Structure 1
Amino acid sequence: MLYKLWRSFIKEIQLLKRDSGGIVIIFLMPLLLIITITLIQDSTFKNLEGSKIPIIFIDNDKSEVSKVIKKELETSKTFELVTDYSEKSAEKAVFTGDYQMAIVIPENLTKDLNSNIDSKVQTVVSSFGLETDSTSTNAVASKAKDIHLYFDPATNTGFKNSVMNAINKMVFEIENKKIYKAFQDQLGTTEDLENKSLITFKEITPNKGNEEVMPNSVQHNVPAWALFAIFFIVVPLSINLVKEKSQGTSVRVRVSPTPYYIHILGKTFTYLIICVIQFLLMVAVGIWLFPLMDLPQFDVSGKMLHLLIVTLFAGLAAIGFGVLIGTVSDTQEQSAPFGATSVVVLAAIGGIWVPVFLMPEFMQKIAQFSPMNWGLNAYYDIILRNSGIGEIAKELIFLFLFYIAMVSISLLYERKQNSV
């Protein structure tokens, strides 16, 4: 039995050697993909850090509040303020895509804000039976003012939300300081009541020794695109199975004394080796090439064995899927496009292209059934969450069961098609 399995393995190696160009593509394509994607993401991040986004800023208030907002925007290192626009021309410039956004500060914003605060503070102080400051007893509450924000229709929703939250925070802090100042004036106290944050946020990250482990683009891209490359062997594997049908090889396999599942196991071992080599090449690029390209180094210290185990199980899932496609397809024109398209769809559903948590709720549920999502979660658990085999056992079991299910369906289909 072992000899037959070995001969089946040798046969697969010989078949692959006949298509040396295809083998080069299998290994070269993922490397080019991971280098390109990582460079684009990293350079984009650096560009956002080093360059400013031009936005239109119109100050119709020209007083304390608007000056504070303008100063905060200028010192944020994110925006470059353009001020030579009217509100009408700014609206046109933004809606035609010339600028990402425009901020319009209304007239008398500071004056009306002060009036509103004075009026409310007087009401509160009077409710306690205290005398109010005679210099502000005539304060009348004004209608709330709107700061107009214009966004390019093509602007990302996340960018809109972050800008609106930042401006809202600035206005909130200004209002708080003015409220404290108004209470000081009304109560006639000289004690410093300046509003200072009593609660702050501190990010806690995993530690490695005395150093914090900070996730980076490489830690996300290497496992994600390695997994994509592993599943892309579905294409050559399914094509080889179809070739065997058209060339009569599958007939000779069926009439030979060797069981058909030995033939499938031979393919499994052969393509598992390819999957491991693909992953090792990806890791090598992350460890040695990325630092030379001014990218973060991929850290696999103490994790390589676990990562290889995940790679083997992910490879099994990919091979099972490729066997099924090759078994049910009659021509290469069926297997190649369907195999490539299905891998892309599985990658999209599994979180390779877009993180699962950003997907709609029903897509998040669908993602739980994607083998690429299982593999990606297992990789992330090891690399980013420092998990062991016990923590990823569920994903490994799912990947193995997926392989068993795909191969079992293929064997049943093959038996049914060739039954006399």
Structure 2
Amino acid sequence: MMHKFLMSVYKEMLLLKRDFGGLVILFIMPLVLIITITLIQDSTFKSIHETKIPVLLVDNDNGQISETVKQNLNESGSFEIVTQIDGKTINEEVAREAVFKGKFQLAIVIPEKLSKDLQLKVNQNVEKILGSFGMEDTASVAQKNIKILPKEVKLYFDPATQLTFKNAVKSAIDKMISKIETQSIYATFQDQLGENDAPLFDQKSFISFKEIVPKVNDKEIMPNSVQHNVPAWALFAIFFVVVPLSINIVKEKSQGTLIRLITNPVPYAVVILGKTATYLIICMIQFFLMVAVGVYLFPYFGLPTLDVNGKLILMSIVALFSGLAAIGFGILLGTIAKTQEQSAPFGATSVVILAAIGGVWVPVFAMPKVMQYVSHVSPMNWGLNAFYDVLLRNGGIGEILPEIILLLLFFLLTTAIAIVYDKKKREV
């Protein structure tokens, strides 16, 4: 039996050797993907201070509020204020046209007399409150009859701008303006009550936010693009062996090779074990190539280095069982498919779908609720969660054990179905 198994492995090696070009593509394509995607996504993981977005600012106010807005935008470190185009000061029309043509992502238009009218409105409200306590200043009665219309800070966005960026900017601007209004109210109360020597109101924020992240050796663990992309695209590469594996199985059936093997006689389970061992080696080579790119090549592109110290063994275990799941799926597909025209496109499409719903491209938490539940059926999601447990959550074997069991059960189930299906088909 061992001799038959080794001969089955040898046969698979010969088949792969004959399709050397396809084998090279199987290794090169994932490497190109991981480098390209990581370079594109790296800026989203970097500190906001490393990338500044040019923002058009039209200041029709020229007052305290506009100065505060400029100061806050500059201090945020994520925006570069642009007030001139081709040496000319921009107005609202020019800003709108530039943004809508895609030359800039954002334009902020501050309305006229915003600072003056805000202070006037605050004065009216404060006088009204003080008047209810009999502390009204007769000199300011004339201000009550002045009608002040609400002001709008206009935000122009490039139509191609993502919704998440729009919401983030609108939230930041709204927070900024609210803070200015609050400070104006405090200052006006201070003036009206005549407490100019010592502050009457503490204007510092009482509630603040603090992010707590995991630490190792008193150093914060900050996820980066490499930690997300290496495991994700390693899984994609591993599962892409479904295509050549299923095609080879279909070839054996169409060329009569499988019949000769079985009449030799060689049990179909031994044939499957030979394919499993061969393609599992390929999966592990793909995984270690991906890790090598993350550790040794990415630093030359200015990307973070993948830290695998003390984690490589657990990552290898996850890759091993992910490879088994991929092989099981490929064996099932190759056993059921009748032609290469069926196995190749279905295999490639199904891998893309499993990657999409598994969180390789879009994080699961960003999906609709229905898709979040659907994602749990994807073996890529199990493998990806296990990788994240090791790389980002400092998990041990106990944390990744549930995902490993699921991947192993998936392999056993798909392989068993393939063996039963083949046996029944030959009996008929």
TM-score range, shorter chain: over 0.9
- Structure 1 equivalent of residue 82 of structure 2: 81
- Structure 1 equivalent of residue 111 of structure 2: 106
How far did residue 126 of structure 1 move?
3.5
Which residue of 216, 220, 224 maps to 1:216? Answer: 224
1:184 aligns with 2:185: no
User: Are the counterparts in 2 of residues 177 and 194 from structure 1 also a CA contact under 8 Å?
Assistant: no
User: Are the counterparts in 1 of residues 26 and 241 from structure 2 also a CA contact under 8 Å?
Assistant: yes
- Structure 2 equivalent of residue 121 of structure 1: 126
Q: Distance in 2 between matches of 1:70 and 1:211?
A: 34
How far did residue 235 of structure 1 move?
1.0
- The residue matched to 2:181 in structure 1 has which SS? helix
Q: Distance in 2 between matches of 1:99 and 1:213?
A: 34
AA at the equivalent of 2:182:
N
- Structure 2 equivalent of residue 373 of structure 1: 381
- Structure 2 equivalent of residue 22 of structure 1: 22
- Structure 1 equivalent of residue 285 of structure 2: 277
1:5 aligns with 2:11: no
| Per-residue deviation, residues 368-392 of structure 1 (Å, max 9, x unmatched) | 1111111101101110001112122
1:132 aligns with 2:136: yes
User: Are the counterparts in 2 of residues 181 and 194 from structure 1 also a CA contact under 8 Å?
Assistant: no
AA at the equivalent of 1:297:
T
Write out aligned runs for 1:289-308 (5 A): 289-308=297-316
Q: Distance in 1 between matches of 2:106 and 2:347?
A: 43
Which residue of 371, 381, 394 maps to 1:363? Answer: 371
Q: Distance in 1 between matches of 2:235 and 2:208?
A: 39
Which residue of 247, 252, 261 maps to 1:253? Answer: 261
- Structure 1 equivalent of residue 175 of structure 2: 169
Deviates more, 1:240-249 or 1:130-139: 130-139
How far did residue 219 of structure 1 move?
0.7
Write out aligned runs for 1:202-213 (5 A): 202-213=210-221
Q: Which runs of 5+ in 2 are unaligned?
A: none
Write out aligned runs for 1:308-347 (5 A): 308-347=316-355
1:160 aligns with 2:166: yes
Deviates more, 1:151-160 or 1:76-85: 76-85
AA at the equivalent of 1:406:
T
- Structure 2 equivalent of residue 148 of structure 1: 154
Q: Distance in 2 between matches of 1:19 and 1:195?
A: 72
How far did residue 363 of structure 1 move?
1.6
- The residue matched to 1:54 in structure 2 has which SS? strand
Q: Distance in 2 between matches of 1:50 and 1:383?
A: 24
CA 1:290–1:313: 2 relative to 1, 3 Å: same
Q: Distance in 2 between matches of 1:175 and 1:46?
A: 32
Q: Distance in 1 between matches of 2:238 and 2:42?
A: 24
AA at the equivalent of 1:80:
I
How far did residue 117 of structure 1 move?
1.4
User: Are the counterparts in 2 of residues 224 and 352 from structure 1 also a CA contact under 8 Å?
Assistant: yes
CA 1:315–1:266: 2 relative to 1, 3 Å: same
Q: Distance in 2 between matches of 1:74 and 1:288?
A: 36
- The residue matched to 1:55 in structure 2 has which SS? strand
Deviates more, 1:372-381 or 1:341-350: 341-350
AA at the equivalent of 2:22:
G
Q: Distance in 2 between matches of 1:282 and 1:368?
A: 25
CA 1:102–1:115: 2 relative to 1, 3 Å: same
User: Are the counterparts in 2 of residues 55 and 99 from structure 1 also a CA contact under 8 Å?
Assistant: yes
Q: Distance in 2 between matches of 1:44 and 1:392?
A: 28
- The residue matched to 2:396 in structure 1 has which SS? coil
Deviates more, 1:338-347 or 1:39-48: 39-48
How far did residue 221 of structure 1 move?
1.0
AA at the equivalent of 2:192:
Q
TM-score with structure 1 setting the length: 0.93
- Percent identity, please: 57
How far did residue 45 of structure 1 move?
6.2
AA at the equivalent of 2:399:
E
User: Are the counterparts in 2 of residues 303 and 382 from structure 1 also a CA contact under 8 Å?
Assistant: yes
| Per-residue deviation, residues 278-336 of structure 1 (Å, max 9, x unmatched) | 11111112112222332211111111121111111101110011111111222222212
- The residue matched to 1:386 in structure 2 has which SS? coil
Q: Distance in 2 between matches of 1:89 and 1:47?
A: 31
Q: Distance in 2 between matches of 1:54 and 1:299?
A: 34
AA at the equivalent of 2:93:
K
Q: Distance in 2 between matches of 1:274 and 1:242?
A: 19
Q: Distance in 1 between matches of 2:51 and 2:382?
A: 38
Alignment size in residue pairs: 419
Q: Which runs of 5+ in 1 are unaligned?
A: none
How far did residue 174 of structure 1 move?
0.8
How far did residue 194 of structure 1 move?
4.7
Deviates more, 1:361-370 or 1:32-41: 32-41
Q: Distance in 1 between matches of 2:114 and 2:371?
A: 45
Q: Distance in 2 between matches of 1:300 and 1:143?
A: 60
Q: Distance in 1 between matches of 2:13 and 2:137?
A: 93
AA at the equivalent of 2:405:
I
TM-score with structure 2 setting the length: 0.91
RMSD of Structure 2 on Structure 1 (CA): 2.1
Deviates more, 1:220-229 or 1:117-126: 117-126
